[in-house]
Amino acid sequence: MALQNKLGITDSAELARIEEKISKKKAVELFESDELKKYRAGTFEMLAFIHRYLSSEIYDFAGKMREVNLAKGNFRFAPVMYLDAALESIEKMPQSTFDEIIEKYVEMNIAHPFREGNGRSTRIWLDQILKKELGKVIDWSLVDKDDYLMAMERSPVKDVEIKVLLKAALTDQVNSREMFMKGVDHSYDYEGYSSYRTQDLVKQTYTQRKKQEMQEERE
């Protein structure tokens, strides 16, 4: 059964495909806009905006704190009753060094503040902190899926693995559109979304826009 959504889709596999298609295109739009400059890196306000930007066409809860408890396997994310306090604490964490930034990222993952779409939103949020503080971002195409998932699973107890893994993928290509699109594909693949290549979706959108402009000129 699919999560309740604005599109009225009841099949979970169909919803996953549509969600991937829409939110990948929105991720590129966000990268190309100046919208993120309005928010302070490392804040929940920025993370909520990212989540809302990616998911608002799909879910009413986009950008809003979840109202249900979540678990993955045997791990339980922050209980709803403590979520506000957890987010306040995370926001106050230092973020001036690579280690501090990853520690903050790990804590935000444990908080898991949204009903759905936490991972992809939080990875963009992480890159914004790294960009502001260190002038670098993660080249997610260099981060192996299995290694990443295992390191994140262990990170609440021991964060050394995720630090080593992500540090090896740091790059100063903070404004590379091509690298960002490849990164989006890898980021979504961590969550099982791999039906579309971001680059193909962007090209498709561009072609459709050009056709529409030509049609309007004829009229």
Q: How far apart are CA 129 and CA 135, in angstroms?
A: 9
pLDDT in tens, 57-66: 999 999 999 9
pLDDT in tens, 126-137: 999 999 999 999
Quote the CA–CA distance of 113 and 47 in Å, as a whole number: 9
Q: Which domains does the chain have, with CATH numbers?
A: 12-218 (1.10.3290.10)
Q: What is the mean pLDDT of the chain?
A: 95
How far, CA to CA in Å, does 176 sit from each of 63, 100, 132?
A: 26, 25, 16
What tens digit of pLDDT does each residue of 18-27 get? 999 999 999 9
